[in-house]
């Protein structure tokens, strides 16, 4: 499988380019007899959709999803679900002018090196637009997880150096940067606006927590749950680091403070702390799963940059057009989606051994 | 594939428990006509082997590898190479006494939750001993990479808060902590000795650099090279975070400083900086690949900890025996091995499209 | 991967039900820089399409294929190619009346047993309509094979007991049963017409030959080329047996007559006979690959049959509507497609070891 | 995965050459808490073992299996089970003399064409010896199936043109050709003895029946149960054809006689006939699964044959040594094993959707 599929039993295969006719996904391995509607998916797509706020790109894609198979009378049948999202508001003209240049921070050069050809319209397959298909598939995964009592909540922990100081889930969708701290949200927005005016961009940190996971998810050795999650999340283009639980801080802790002590609560084995982030030996403990991802600043900026052309001459490039000055708010549902797909996959695998 | 295989075409499948009769691996997908000897592999195993220094466990395993198939007259034939490492210096007696307790920070509880049974002798399959098979397979991968001019060098960037201030590759194997900074190595050793005396343990950071990678390695979308490396490295038990290139720092940078500008050198497309860590859009650029992993402190400590037993009562546990106070020096070759396996896999996949 | 994908590197994933909104496929692993148009695919679809002759179902599907991704300016880019075929001429009314009955010879009962739900409209996912997506993907595979000088030609070797006595490739597409023997074609048509009038159906044998395969395709042990072809061809619903080379007859031969003797011709190692069917030890020899498949008579017949209903009562069923009295002519391109997909997959895998 | 693994969740990966140091298998995906001993496996290996009777090769391999992992106190733990079978009675001297020749009917030429190197000792990886690992893994699969009430019984339906006229399971292991018809067994033996004296070899048909399979095994579309079984069985070197249910005969039947009518018996949906061979739409019906395989005559014969050498000259070859004149009796447990592995895999996959 050359890279466009993810998952072993709950398997998502995607296709589509930014300025092609559509993006979409086939999901194989969906259990039968689950209620599934286009609206279930649309809700998630709307969270990722361009043009949703003043801090995102003004490209106006409706991102309407159509379910073309696998659902009969509103219920999954166990056959593949195909999700189609047509591209509508495309404008390739800005790309025409710079199609001979390798944009810094983009995949123009590496795709050319690998394939000898690239679809230069809107970054082609390497575009963030490809993640619409992931979010659609993730919405289906979330449905499966919800039936098992598993919830996935993500938010902007930090943007442009401004860090949320309190985590209030009810605030996340109430501000345009998906900050769990309403007060810091305003500062985050201000910073984004500031860099946007300068034609620049900023990054941040996304944190996602998973509650309700029963113990026993994840496979040993190579397919540890944390390894699968790292794979899933690092496959999102803008991610440069993934932390589980205490993450980087674990490197500076002692065993006596890092180890989470077990105790019994309501007849369940629980841990007093959660430095492990809900995973021990690659298998879920039943505690909250905690993952953080570092999001780099978007590569498309109006600031002049030096680069080279496809024929090897050095030039200066300025990238104008409809770009996100900060991708963090829109990447939150993408990371949630990848984690949902991973967990749904593990959940089905676990059932094999019941 | 339930978790004990890694790689799509250069495929490693491992088996074995810490106190079972052996650990080992079948490697499928090795190109034919490569010179391969047991000695090639032994060199790497000796770097991971227990008992190699005063800062590692005194368990004295020779870790002698035997090649039982796939090599004819010293040359690979294209058929699976089987690597066997017998376990010899096992002592399960210490585990007998605590087999009814879930050790904090270990996988005892999660394996029991998942499988309803666990091999309690020396952590069974969840033991770090399992990584001997990875290092053996990684040594074969390194051979393949070396033929293409690719080198992989890892070191302890930081141990117990002491960080290497200079990176001198020639120093790495010259000190027992694998520090690239000889001066800091002494401080690292001192810190480890200190926590060991207290029955405690410490973590650190490993950094690995890959040189000589041609552009074009890695697959798009889900199997980006950085995603595969994150999967590979996070599957090592002690790892809690993985960074590529600027990693976490990328979250605080602006696009104008993060983007690596292209230029031409010796007819090659190069970048002036390398915040991307040698990967753009999931595909290698030809620049140095840089990865860092946060290593948590080992879970087995002599300090008293509270925990619960398999029948649900709370107890205090002290873990004595032959444990590593710091796993960082020994985990360096393990992370190198996982990266080598990943890169060898990508290298073979790239050839399909030539 | 729960069954809707085929191939390891040239990977086809399909979706769609007979009376759903569409069927289609994502093909991952297509090499870049191949000319590919909708017309290349349409030609093959037209060979499979319903309503093409008097001996096939009158359901009138245009089977228009649309390429929605992976092709840029008429050339493949190495990213997934998505093929969409909308369903248009559906009529579920006939199925409404018998939706409570398990049709003999159909998958109604087994899908219900497996999934607890089934899309009863036109056999749902178990319909032969699903093979339109296979033929579309196979057309892409054929393009890749043709570039390597590999051709795949299939025909009706036998229908309703009438066997072709001569194999003239030029005749195959010149008659409506795809017989390579023009004279026998008329008899085959007559037999089909005869059973159709009786409301019954007939089977036959398809033979496919592959020319131009270089030696070295196929993987050892489990993924022998003949094993992969058997998997591919037996996955076509109507197939009940697969033979390679001498096939069943090999069971009655002696080693001295079965073994194909090697000789040298034009500097190439060749064999004087070809009982092996072009494959030795699971790897292609360079000789013609020969495969035969036994095709059962279609299950939908107007003759009264006894069966049971979903609530367990026994009933009599007569299946009227637009059904094929003999599927052999239309299954020829389907089997060719499955073999093309398999061979394209092996061809790409072979390149890894060059 | 380059060909040496089989199964998606119950996954068998094998290694080893005929005259190498050992053959063996890692089985991943074994459910925990199953009683498993070396003796369970040895019983099956003894049925395949060389030297078991006057009609098999006199190579005297004990084929002693050792379980080196995955079993703790006699019970599976859910971790990989590794099975090792050392090679002992090897004699490569006969091969030394003909190592420059491509033996007709063998894989010498194709392995050389594919890999550019081959282990010429006893056919290397292409040897039937490789199937010892399959039988060992199949024994484990049989254990899992037996717990679900599924039995697999194979026999020689036909040898050298002599066909069993009655199927008496109690006779199968009571004669050296594994004929279910005691009377015909003597004729089969006589025919084998006859060709052996002439330095020649003969083939035959193996039939395997599976009882106790519940409805619902198998995946739709590409991984139909019959397709997986065809793959599994055709991957056994000597097999040239695979039939399911009525097999080839289905091509000559009419729908009205081929379709199996449903009825109710003891509250179960059953079919009056079983032309389908227990599988409809690729999913098990609950009826007996019936598969037949055509076995070609062994390639190693003493009769002089013309062939070519590795340097392209034509020569005559006579193959002396310890070869089977008929492989049918020994291939019975191999085909059973492959079917057992396939069914165990499907059984586990089915549980995911419960």
pLDDT, tens only, B92-118 = 888 999 999 999 999 999 999 999 999
Asked if B246 contacts B348 with a C-beta cutoff of 8 angstroms, the reply is no
C314 alpha carbon, distance to own chain's centre: 34
Beta bridge partners of B23: B16, B85
Contacts of B255 (CB under 8 A, 6+ apart): A105, A200, A201, A202, A297, A298, A299, A300, A301, A303
Q: Return the beta strands (E) in chain D as ranges.
A: 5-6, 11-16, 22-28, 65-69, 71-72, 75-76, 81-86, 151-159, 162-163, 204-211, 239-244, 262-265, 268-271, 279-280, 283-284, 289-295, 305-308, 314-317
The answer, for C253 touching chain D at a CB cutoff of 8 Å, is yes
D219: left (phi > 0), else alpha (psi -120 to 50), else beta?
Answer: beta
C274–chain A Cβ distance below 8 A for any pair:
no
**pLDDT value, residue A354:** 62
Closest by Cβ to D352, choosing from A79, A220, A351: A351
Q: Using an 8 Å Cβ cutoff, are C318 and C253 in contact?
A: no
- Widest Cα–Cα separation across chain D: 69
Kindly state the helix (H) or strand (E) to which residue C162 belongs, with its residue range: strand C162-163
Cβ of A9 under 8 Å from any chain D Cβ? yes
Phi, psi for residue C113 in degrees, rounded to 5? -65, -40
pLDDT at residue C76 tops 80: yes
Q: What is the pLDDT at residue C54? A: 86
Report the 10 Å Cβ neighbour count for D183: 12
CA distance B214 to C146: 30
- Taking only the tens place, the pLDDT of each residue in B38-93 is 999 999 999 999 888 888 888 788 999 999 999 999 999 999 999 999 998 888 88
Report the DSSP beta bridge partners of residue B242.
Answer: A242, B293
Task: Residue C297: list chain D partners with CB under 8 A.
Answer: 250, 253-255, 258
Interface test with A, best of B220, B226, B271, B277 (most A CBs within 10 A): B220
Q: Taking chain A (354 residues) in consecutive chunks of 10 residues, what is each chunk's mean pLDDT?
A: 91 97 97 97 95 84 95 97 93 90 97 95 95 98 97 98 98 97 98 97 98 96 98 98 98 98 97 98 98 98 96 94 92 98 95 73
The answer, yes or no, to whether ipTM is higher than 0.85 is: yes
pLDDT tens-place string over residues D57-81: 887 888 999 999 999 999 999 999 9
Question: Is A32 in Cβ contact with D353 (below 8 Å)?
Answer: yes
Q: In angstroms, what separates the C-alpha of A173 from chain D's closest C-alpha?
A: 34
User: How far apart, in whole angstroms, are the C-alpha atoms of residue D40 and residue A182?
Assistant: 65
Phi, psi of C314 (to 5 degrees): -85, 135
For chain D, say whether B81 makes contact (Cβ under 8 Å): yes
C302 and D CB contact within 8 Å: no
Query: In chain D, what residues touch C221 (CB-CB under 8 Å)?
Result: 3-4, 14, 125, 130, 235
Confidence of residue C192 (pLDDT cuts 50, 70, 90): very high
**D119 part of contact set with chain B, CB < 8 Å:** yes
Which chains lie within 8 Å of chain D at 3 or more CB pairs, if any?
A, B, C
**Chain D residue with minimal CA distance to A77?**
D353
Structure confidence at residue A54 (pLDDT): 86
pLDDT for residue A93:
86
Does B354 contact A at CB distance below 8 Å? no
Min mean pLDDT across A215-224, A251-260, B314-323, C164-173 is at: B314-323
User: Looking at residues D185-191, what average pLDDT do you find?
Assistant: 98
Which chain C residues have a beta carbon less than 8 Å from that of D262? 102, 104, 109, 306-308, 314
Average confidence (pLDDT) over C241-258: 98
Q: Taking a contact as any Cβ pair under 8 Å apart, which residues of chain C between 155 and 214 contact chain D?
A: 158, 160-161, 195, 200-205
- Confirm if A70 and A30 have CB atoms less than 8 A apart: yes
The whole-number pLDDT of residue B1 equals: 61
Residue of B nearest to C79 (CA): B220
Q: State the average pLDDT over residues B273-280.
A: 98
**Predicted local confidence at residue B352, as pLDDT:** 77
Partners of A79 on chain D (C-beta within 8 Å) are 220
Report the 10 Å Cβ neighbour count for B197: 9
Paired with A65 in beta bridges are A85
Residue D113: which residues within 8 A CB-CB, separation 6 or more?
A: C215, C216, C269, C283, C285, C286
Q: Does C257 touch chain B (CB under 8 A)?
A: no
**Residue D51 φ then ψ, to 5°:** 75, 10
**Mean pLDDT, residues D191-216:** 97
Partners of C348 on chain B (C-beta within 8 Å) are 352-353
Whether residue B143 has pLDDT greater than 80: yes
- Are residues C263 and D228, on separate chains, in Cβ contact within 8 Å? no
Question: Which chain C residues are Cβ-neighbours of B351 within 8 angstroms?
Answer: 351-354
DSSP string of D40-62? HHHHHHHHH-TTSSTTS------
What is the average pLDDT across C88-93?
84
Decide if C148 touches B, using CB distance below 8 A.
no
Closest chain A residue to the Cα of D347, Cα to Cα? A352
Whether the Cβ atoms of residue C67 and residue A16 lie closer than 8 Å to each other = no
Q: Between C2, C11, C68, which is nearest A1 by CB?
A: C11
User: Shortest Cα distance from A25 to chain D (angstroms)?
Assistant: 18
Question: Rounded CA gap, B244 and B230, in Å?
Answer: 9
Q: In terms of pLDDT, which residue wins out, C42 or B53?
A: C42
- What is d(CA B87, CA B127) in angstroms, rounded to the nearest whole number? 13
- Using the Cβ of D1 and the Cβ atoms of chain A, whether some distance falls under 8 Å is answered with no
Query: Which of the residues C10, C101, C224, C259 would you substitute to probe the D interface, choosing the one with the greatest number of D C-beta atoms within 10 Å?
Result: C259
Tell me how crowded residue B304 is: count the other CB atoms within 10 A of its CB.
12
Torsion of CA B43, B44, B50, B55, to 10 degrees: 100
B231 at interface of A, judged by CB pairs closer than 8 A: yes
Closest C-chain CA to A27: C15
Output the CA torsion sign for B32, B38, B39, B45.
positive
**pLDDT greater than 80 at residue C1:** no
List CB contacts (< 8 A) between D15 and chain C.
none
**Does residue B72 sit at the D interface (CB-CB below 8 Å)?**
yes
Closest Cβ–Cβ partner in D24, D33, D81 for B117: D33
Q: Are D82 and B16 a contacting pair at CB < 8 A?
A: yes
Neighbouring subunits of A (3+ Cβ pairs under 8 A):
B, C, D
Cα nearest neighbour of B32 on chain C: C353
Q: What is the mean pLDDT of chain C?
A: 96
Contact A35/A75 with Cβ under 8 angstroms?
A: yes
Cβ separation A352–D351 shorter than 8 A: yes
| Average pLDDT value over all residues in chain B | 96
Distance CA D97, CA D81 (A): 39
Chain-chain contact of B119 with D28 (C-beta, under 8 angstroms): no
Question: Is C222 an interface residue toward D (CB < 8 Å)?
Answer: yes
- pLDDT score of D1: 62
């Amino acid at each position: 499988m050359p890279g466009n599929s993810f998952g072993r039993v709950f398997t998502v295969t995607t296709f589509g380019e930014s300025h092609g006719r559509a993006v979409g996904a086939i999901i194989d391995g969906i259990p039968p007899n689950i209620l599934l509607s286009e609206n279930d998916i649309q809700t998630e797509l709307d969270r990722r959709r361009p043009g949703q706020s003043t801090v995102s790109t003004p490209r106006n894609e409706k991102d309407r999803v159509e379910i073309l198979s696998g659902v009969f009378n509103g219920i999954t049948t166990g056959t593949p679900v195909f999700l189609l999202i047509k591209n509508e508001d495309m404008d390739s003209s800005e790309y025409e002018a710079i199609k001979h240049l390798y944009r810094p921070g983009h995949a123009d050069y590496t795709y050319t090196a690998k394939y000898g050809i690239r679809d230069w319209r809107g970054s082609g397959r390497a575009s963030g637009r490809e993640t619409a298909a992931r979010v659609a598939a993730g919405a289906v995964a979330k449905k499966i997880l919800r039936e098992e009592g598993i919830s996935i909540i993500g938010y902007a922990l930090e943007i442009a150096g401004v860090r949320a100081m309190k985590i209030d889930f009810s605030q996340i969708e109430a501000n345009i940067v998906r900050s769990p701290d309403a007060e810091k949200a305003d500062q985050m927005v201000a910073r984004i606006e500031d860099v946007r005016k300068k034609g620049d961009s900023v990054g941040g940190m996304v944190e996602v927590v998973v509650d309700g996971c029963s113990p026993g998810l994840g496979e040993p050795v190579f397919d540890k749950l944390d390894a699968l999650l790292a794979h899933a999340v690092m496959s999102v283009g803008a991610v440069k680091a993934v932390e589980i639980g205490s993450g980087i801080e674990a490197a500076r802790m002692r065993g006596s403070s890092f180890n989470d002590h077990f105790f019994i609560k309501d007849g369940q084995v629980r841990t007093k702390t959660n430095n492990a982030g809900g995973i021990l030996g690659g298998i879920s403990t039943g505690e909250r799963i905690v993952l953080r991802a570092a999001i780099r600043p978007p590569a498309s900026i109006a600031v002049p940059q030096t680069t080279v052309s496809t024929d090897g001459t050095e030039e200066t490039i300025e990238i104008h057009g409809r770009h996100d000055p900060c991708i963090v708010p829109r990447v939150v549902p993408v990371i949630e989606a990848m984690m949902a797909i991973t967990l749904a996959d593990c959940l089905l695998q676990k059932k094999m051994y019941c």
